[in-house]
Homo-oligomer: A and B are copies of this chain.
Amino acid sequence: MRNDIVPPSAEQPSLAERIRHDMDSFTPSEKRAAHLLLSHYPFAGLDTVAEFASRAGISAPSALRFVTRLGFSGFPDFQKHLREELEAQLLSPLAKSGPVEPGQGAPALAAFAQAVIGNLTATVENIAPAEFDAVVALLSDQRRNIHFTGGRFTGALARYAESHFRIVRSHVDFIEGQPALWRDRMIEIGRKDVVVAFDIRRYQEDVTALCETAARQGATIVLLTDPWLSPIARVARHVLPAHITAPSNWDSSAGLLLLTEALVSAVTKRLWETAKPRMEAVERLRNGEP
């Protein structure tokens, strides 16, 4: 038998908090219900049981068991509570933003998120609009070849970028950072090539070498880096810096990801006429259709 759960009398803590707190005492289906409810709190619970269960990917009886376990006498009772909570919350202007639970992780997570959000804001504010637009234009030029590369950590971001651009347009690839792997490919790189490099501190020599070689051959270099600028900046045509400090032993790449996704989004919109049929074709191929 599991530990009992306090009935939802007239308590202060919102139901959401209680659910978060008791999360690990739930069964798998109950967790799914809980996740759905918390992700659209409290509106997900205001529909019918059938709708709620279906959205959570569970059966109606499981949904019922979930609310019963929460201490309610039935689904209507549960909904009534949600409505009352909502009304109370809406009437008190800023009663929201309750202090997150104690525990070890939550505060750390919240603090981390706050730092990351600060980074994103600072990053956006320090990007020159003209620079961003210029990069979008460059990456939207279908006659050019685009190569993505990065360091040991940022390499994953380069892959992320490549996996998206590859679908939007052609002539896109990823270059591994190790010199042995790209030396001979450099013969192909020329004036119509664009190298998009990701490089943040503990700047990596091999990535720098790659970009310098490419630049010497006439390629256009786009650099996504930190505010202290990777040495690649010397040979780069465009530089987009992102803030990376976080309350961690590691730097955060969220700002770089933001820029990457924003670029993908902007280029997709710009090339929409050709990107749309292309994306549809890719989808068909993935599904094994002719």
Which residues of A approach B to under 8 Å, CB–CB?
19-21, 23-24, 28, 31-32, 34-36, 38-41, 43, 46, 55, 57, 83, 86-87, 90, 100-106, 108-110, 112-113, 116-117, 120-134, 136, 152-153, 155-157, 159-160, 163-164, 227-229, 231, 233-234, 239, 241, 243, 246-250, 252-254, 257-259, 261-262, 264-266, 268-269, 279
Contacts and interface: CB of A to CB of B under 8 A. Distances in A.
A27 to B, nearest CB: 12
A87 B35 contact: no
A265 B239 contact: no
Contacts of A102: 269
Contacts of A133: 103-106
Question: Assembly of this chain: how many copies?
Answer: 2
- Interface residue SS majority, chain A: helix
A241 to B, nearest CB: 6
A2 B31 CA distance: 51
Contacts of A110: 124
Nearest to A251: B261
A254 B264 contact: no
B156 A129 contact: no
27 contacts: A20-B130, A23-B131, A28-B233, A28-B234, A32-B229, A34-B128, A35-B126, A38-B126, A46-B46, A57-B229, A100-B129, A103-B130, A103-B133, A108-B262, A112-B261, A113-B121, A113-B258, A116-B120, A116-B258, A117-B117, A156-B159, A248-B261, A248-B265, A249-B268, A249-B279, A250-B261, A254-B257
